[in-house]
Structure 1
Amino acid sequence: MDAAALAGRHLDLVSAPFTLPRSRVLVFRESDGVRVHTSEYERRLAECRVLDLLTLTDAAGQVLPVTDVLPGRVTFGGPSTGSGTQGLGPSTGPATQDGWVAELVEASRPTATLTFADPSTLSLGPAEGATGLTLHLELPDGSVQRHPLGDGIRIRIAADRSATVETGDHAAALAATERIWATWFAKCPTVRDDLQEMTAFCWWVLGANIVELPSLGDARAIVPSKIGYVGLWQWDAYFIAVGLRHGDPELAREQLEIAFRFPQPDGQLPDVVHEEGVLATSDDLPESDRANLRRAGSQIADPSAPVPLTKPPLAAWALRKVLEVEDAPDWAREQLARVIRSQDWWFAGSDLDHDGMPEYGHPYSSGLDDSPIFDGPLPTVAPDLGAYLVRQDLEIADLFARYEPGVDASRFDERAAATRALLLDMWDAERGRFLAFGGGEAQLSDTVVGLMPLLTGTLPELIAESLAAAVDDPERFGLEWGLPTVAASDPDFSDERMWRGPIWVNTSMLVAEGLEASGYADRARELREQTVALVIHGGGPHEYFNPRTGQKARTATTAFGWSAALFIDLAVTLSE
């Protein structure tokens, strides 16, 4: 079975909507038909309604249900005498969040299809021989429209979310959409047989999450999700590029280029690049949000100053991985200069107590916003940040050796050694773990950030052994479905609350890489296998997972970009 068909097994119109690369239109299941939304920055789906309900009826007035979904089209069907078809129907077993699952339904024949004519236009048309069909549209204002389907209808969606109905060549639209997806899936990596279906779905997620950011010309950004996360977040761009490189290294480079394109004057990289600009400090947020971002309780930071907002320093790590697949020396040198300025900013602009070890000025800059290490006063010095800074300086030195061999890069090795020494000062031998410190106060929560020093690959043997043991400990991080973000034995553990217990694919992947860098290659492979098994068991690349059940956490976003990308990266690694 081809990759598009494999991906189609997961397109339930609930957790995975029908959409098109570069499109802001999303189609979800609703009752006996579908509903249509736009995807917009900082707006909930409920605020972006285009059509509350779209249904099709046959000549007898019978509603035609959705019977099949593939990346390029949604099929509506009617009764048939055939032997059955894979379709969508009410659940008789474990249900998805609104009670629908992909399952065998009564045999049906295709009667009409829905596809895209262009990124802002839906196209509907009858199957061969189908006549007398009527399109019914329920609009957010409560009005209802009815249109004979004829040979084809197009629904053009404007920037204000208004919908205009017109006639159109449906066959041409269907063929063009199929070509778009065929081109995309031709790049899908080939992996181990048991991982291929989920890899195909994850590849669909990356393609589906491509948007255009008008302020950047024709730049293609892969957003974390068209459901609620429409922008290019710095950290997400790194993880997405790492997975994307296996099938589309050019597009992977584009994600990094966008993330690096808008540094602040001091070199700090912004947290988010979006269609209205960038999010780099609290001043880029609405006034109502700014008070919540002040460093309340801090003794060393000006509570009236704008708070820098960024993401952890994994830029050089991502840059190196993308270049491993397809080299681009001139581009690499250009991006490396921006990475170095960003790394220097951490030490010059985010070492708020001037002790040589930078801090997180706000939880947003950690990527782990709700982690209990931020329950204390800010700013927070954390072992994960120390580990990332050590790793980044080492990566920069290696990239210099590759692309600028005549340049003295010793300062990066020297700074890595100094940061490593300060990182080791955060080791609590009595508790057997690295601690974070908020405003100088020890934060005792046992969290995944304490495992990240493994990434340095240079820890003393006894400390590395202690961290590897923690990964295996069923009372702490060695749970059945994988690595929780807070140890199961910790009072702050919650199996559902974001960053306070649920499993995230990115932290699991980073810890696996740290285990390998620290000499535990077999254990690293086990964690990678456990992580891909989790995504398959959970039904897809969700934002985060309940560590007790292995299912999507209740409030997690579905079809999440970095989970999809890192599943692909893990699948490729495990298939080598």
Structure 2
Amino acid sequence: MNSQINPDIAAIPFSRWGSYLAISQLAGEKHARTGLPAGLWLRSVHGAAASEVMLLELIANGAPVAGEVSRTASVLTLHHRHGRVEICLPTAHTVRLRVRGVTLRLTARPFRNHVAIPEPGGHWIFNMAANYRSYRLVPLAGAFTVDAPWQGQQCTHMIAELTPAGNAAAELAIEELSWARPAQDHSGNFDVLAQNVQAEFDAFCRPFLRCAAPLRDAAAAAAYLDWSSVVHPLGNLKRPAMLMSKNWMTNVWAWDHAFNAWAVALTDRDLAWDQFMIMFDHQDENGQIPDYINDVRLLTCFVKPPIHGWILTRMMELTGGLPPERLAQAYDVLSQWTDWWFTYRNPDRDGLPVYWHGNDSGWDNCTVFAVPLPLKAADLAAFLVVQMDALADFAAKLGRPAESANWRRRADATLQALITTLWDGTKFRCLSTITRKAAAPSDSVFGCLPIILGQRLPIEIRKALVTEIKRHLTAWGPATEHPSSPVYEPDGYWRGPIWAPSTMILVDGLRAAGETELARDIAGRFCKLCVKSGFAENFDALTGAPLRDRGYTWTSSVFLVLANRYLTA
């Protein structure tokens, strides 16, 4: 399984399970705003810190030269006709570099107070306040020099160079430090360390390769993205955490994490449980969970939709259920989360909770939110019905029949309120609680999300939603805003592009509604899109071009679920 993953590290950084270190090719407008040179950067994905740490350059005949990139899950290689540099992350806090035929130059990000300190044994510490970390450079073989002139408050620059002696390889280790500590043992052979890393990834990846043969290369790349996006517990992250990306979306959001948990359930039940529960580690006494967390920051100004009961049910179908103690934990946190919506987001007390902002729905700038807020949205009620149905099932399994009956009654009442209030005979409306009107113009597939209720919906509603979903389909899947809409934007975030979560909700809902062929067709379109364009945050609905963050884990996770569970049955 030592196959190439994706040589475009501008899309998917090179990293490993557990690490806050990543190597990326940085360029383009977003990077230009930093004022730093484009190129290959060692980066940090700790929250609140600057991301760029050191620029890596190949030097031949005294000048920087471009290198061609290749990679496996364990080794990133920069090739040049004069030589090459190989990079491995043998542990979460260590980078190993092996250089042949060229010089490797490492240029630290400039910032006030940055300083390079020599240590005994030829080691150097680059103390870098912008990154909230220090980095120890340990030369293992070859000639190693550091140029770091001190100017009273900071080094004007900090540049290290590693050069091989003749045909021998030069080697260097870089340690990420949060506190002072002795240098680590770096006597391990580079190739053996790389083989160990590859074996770790292979064990994670193998269960995902049961999909159809044409999808297996993409499945390996998707598995790599998920595996390499996990970081160790630290600060706010109480468990191993799969970040949404190690590009710039370096957080865990409160619905993204559940899609990642669903995918990981195919390979590692404990890691899947941790991904599902990680946001609930911060649930407050009223039942709210944060909008996002990272190791340093936590945001509670927004929330995300309650898709958790639905996804946990699907995870349990994959794994054969949960042990009683975990089921009881899940029941407790989901009960509080459900009650929070009816207590703190139900201003009319009519049984239909509301969104305060598009961000709360996960569809940040969707056209349905172009009305005075709060918004009474059909998807929210549908998710809560599914979640209460799940809670009824969990309560029954836990031997709590009265609670089970109560959840079922509440689910039935919410479903009735949804249909009575928001179904207009042809479609579900999203209504401002201020004006009691829907946004116009809006032609979003958002109104079709209640298909998640499956056969809970009357047949005439199911048929109407199926017709509307079909109308939004492009060659690649369901456009979030119909391409003929006057407010459609090709790169408009939730105003047109295709997204993984909306696709997953529609596919699963269609299957639950008995529309198995249509569900399979849409799943196939989305998987072909990922084969073509990778695992971007979203995609142009007409061309399939990747948009925004191009290495986004809920996209890879949805691909893995669809490829292994919806296109194989």
| TM-score range normalised by the length of the shorter chain | 0.7 to 0.9
Does 2:413 match 1:398?
A: no
Q: CA deviation at 1:337?
A: 1.1
Letter in 1 for 2:458: P
Q: CA deviation at 1:275?
A: 1.6
- Partner in structure 2 of residue 214 of structure 1: 234
Does 2:73 match 1:113?
A: no
Q: CA deviation at 1:159?
A: 4.8
Are the structure 2 counterparts of residues 183 and 151 from structure 1 closer, same or farther at C-alpha, using a change threshold of 3 Å?
A: farther
- Partner in structure 2 of residue 450 of structure 1: 447
Are the structure 2 counterparts of residues 542 and 400 from structure 1 closer, same or farther at C-alpha, using a change threshold of 3 Å?
A: same
Question: Is the Cα contact below 8 Å between 2:20 and 2:46 reproduced in 1?
Answer: yes
Letter in 2 for 1:144: I
Query: What does 1:85-164 align with in structure 2 at a 5 Å threshold?
Result: 111-126=84-99, 130=100, 133-141=102-110, 142-149=157-164, 151-159=170-178
**Hey, what's the Cα distance between the residues in 2 that align with 1:170 and 1:561?**
32
Does 2:552 match 1:560?
A: yes
**Hey, what's the Cα distance between the residues in 2 that align with 1:48 and 1:550?**
29
**TM-score w.r.t. length of structure 2:** 0.81
Does 2:460 match 1:462?
A: yes
Identity %: 24
In structure 1, runs of 5+ residues without a counterpart are 80-107, 283-308
Query: What does 1:245-264 align with in structure 2 at a 5 Å threshold?
Result: 245-264=265-284
Question: Is the Cα contact below 8 Å between 1:67 and 1:77 reproduced in 2?
Answer: yes
Question: Is the Cα contact below 8 Å between 2:237 and 2:295 reproduced in 1?
Answer: no
Are the structure 2 counterparts of residues 199 and 146 from structure 1 closer, same or farther at C-alpha, using a change threshold of 3 Å?
A: same
Question: Is the Cα contact below 8 Å between 1:484 and 1:502 reproduced in 2?
Answer: yes
Are the structure 2 counterparts of residues 436 and 470 from structure 1 closer, same or farther at C-alpha, using a change threshold of 3 Å?
A: same
Letter in 1 for 2:24: F
Are the structure 2 counterparts of residues 404 and 197 from structure 1 closer, same or farther at C-alpha, using a change threshold of 3 Å?
A: farther
Q: CA deviation at 1:471?
A: 1.7
Q: CA deviation at 1:505?
A: 1.3
Deviations 1:177-216 (A, max 9, x none): 3343334334444211111111111111111110123126
Are the structure 2 counterparts of residues 165 and 66 from structure 1 closer, same or farther at C-alpha, using a change threshold of 3 Å?
A: farther
Deviations 1:284-318 (A, max 9, x none): xxxxxxxxxxxxxxxxxxxxxxxxx2211111112
Query: What does 1:419-434 align with in structure 2 at a 5 Å threshold?
Result: 419-427=414-422, 429=424, 432-434=426-428
**TM-score w.r.t. length of structure 1:** 0.80
- Partner in structure 2 of residue 286 of structure 1: none
Deviations 1:333-374 (A, max 9, x none): 111111011111111111022222100122221111111122
Letter in 2 for 1:462: E
- Partner in structure 2 of residue 223 of structure 1: 243
Letter in 2 for 1:551: A
2:41 to 31, 35, 42: 35
Question: Is the Cα contact below 8 Å between 1:125 and 1:152 reproduced in 2?
Answer: yes
> What number of residue pairs does the alignment pair up?
498
Does 2:302 match 1:319?
A: no
Letter in 1 for 2:15: T
**Hey, what's the Cα distance between the residues in 2 that align with 1:393 and 1:507?**
21
SS state at 1:215 partner: coil
Are the structure 2 counterparts of residues 67 and 418 from structure 1 closer, same or farther at C-alpha, using a change threshold of 3 Å?
A: closer
Question: Is the Cα contact below 8 Å between 1:123 and 1:168 reproduced in 2?
Answer: no
Letter in 2 for 1:449: F
Are the structure 2 counterparts of residues 334 and 62 from structure 1 closer, same or farther at C-alpha, using a change threshold of 3 Å?
A: closer
Question: Is the Cα contact below 8 Å between 1:53 and 1:139 reproduced in 2?
Answer: no
**Hey, what's the Cα distance between the residues in 2 that align with 1:243 and 1:157?**
30
**Hey, what's the Cα distance between the residues in 1 that align with 2:48 and 2:314?**
31
SS state at 1:72 partner: coil
SS state at 2:210 partner: coil
Query: What does 1:511-526 align with in structure 2 at a 5 Å threshold?
Result: 511-526=506-521
Letter in 2 for 1:148: T
Question: Is the Cα contact below 8 Å between 2:12 and 2:550 reproduced in 1?
Answer: yes
Does 2:538 match 1:544?
A: yes
Letter in 2 for 1:522: E
Are the structure 2 counterparts of residues 426 and 443 from structure 1 closer, same or farther at C-alpha, using a change threshold of 3 Å?
A: farther
In structure 2, runs of 5+ residues without a counterpart are 28-37, 111-156
Query: What does 1:168-187 align with in structure 2 at a 5 Å threshold?
Result: 169=188, 171=190, 173-187=193-207
SS state at 1:496 partner: coil
SS state at 1:26 partner: strand
- Partner in structure 1 of residue 126 of structure 2: none
Question: Is the Cα contact below 8 Å between 1:117 and 1:154 reproduced in 2?
Answer: no
Letter in 1 for 2:308: A
Question: Is the Cα contact below 8 Å between 1:13 and 1:28 reproduced in 2?
Answer: yes
Deviations 1:98-152 (A, max 9, x none): xxxxxxxxxx9x74411124323221124xxx5x643222333355332334541
**Hey, what's the Cα distance between the residues in 2 that align with 1:61 and 1:496?**
39
Deviations 1:471-519 (A, max 9, x none): 222xxx0222210111223222212111111000110111111212222
SS state at 1:425 partner: helix
Does 2:568 match 1:572?
A: no
Are the structure 2 counterparts of residues 550 and 407 from structure 1 closer, same or farther at C-alpha, using a change threshold of 3 Å?
A: same
Question: Is the Cα contact below 8 Å between 1:483 and 1:503 reproduced in 2?
Answer: yes
**Hey, what's the Cα distance between the residues in 2 that align with 1:479 and 1:185?**
31
Question: Is the Cα contact below 8 Å between 2:309 and 2:387 reproduced in 1?
Answer: yes
SS state at 1:54 partner: strand
Are the structure 2 counterparts of residues 159 and 377 from structure 1 closer, same or farther at C-alpha, using a change threshold of 3 Å?
A: farther
Are the structure 2 counterparts of residues 381 and 218 from structure 1 closer, same or farther at C-alpha, using a change threshold of 3 Å?
A: closer
**Hey, what's the Cα distance between the residues in 1 that align with 2:201 and 2:450?**
41
**Hey, what's the Cα distance between the residues in 1 that align with 2:228 and 2:205?**
11
Question: Is the Cα contact below 8 Å between 2:388 and 2:410 reproduced in 1?
Answer: yes
**Hey, what's the Cα distance between the residues in 2 that align with 1:480 and 1:42?**
40
**Hey, what's the Cα distance between the residues in 1 that align with 2:186 and 2:538?**
43
Deviations 1:217-242 (A, max 9, x none): 76200011122222321201111111
**Hey, what's the Cα distance between the residues in 2 that align with 1:258 and 1:39?**
18
- Partner in structure 2 of residue 52 of structure 1: 55
Does 2:256 match 1:236?
A: yes
**Hey, what's the Cα distance between the residues in 1 that align with 2:97 and 2:283?**
44
SS state at 2:539 partner: coil
Does 2:298 match 1:278?
A: yes
Are the structure 2 counterparts of residues 178 and 151 from structure 1 closer, same or farther at C-alpha, using a change threshold of 3 Å?
A: farther
Letter in 1 for 2:172: I
Does 2:503 match 1:508?
A: yes
Query: What does 1:12-27 align with in structure 2 at a 5 Å threshold?
Result: 12-27=8-23
Q: CA deviation at 1:420?
A: 1.3
Letter in 1 for 2:444: T
Are the structure 2 counterparts of residues 522 and 174 from structure 1 closer, same or farther at C-alpha, using a change threshold of 3 Å?
A: closer
Question: Is the Cα contact below 8 Å between 1:238 and 1:315 reproduced in 2?
Answer: yes
Q: CA deviation at 1:526?
A: 1.1
Q: CA deviation at 1:426?
A: 4.2
Letter in 2 for 1:265: E
**Hey, what's the Cα distance between the residues in 2 that align with 1:194 and 1:405?**
47
Question: Is the Cα contact below 8 Å between 2:354 and 2:374 reproduced in 1?
Answer: yes
Question: Is the Cα contact below 8 Å between 1:187 and 1:248 reproduced in 2?
Answer: no
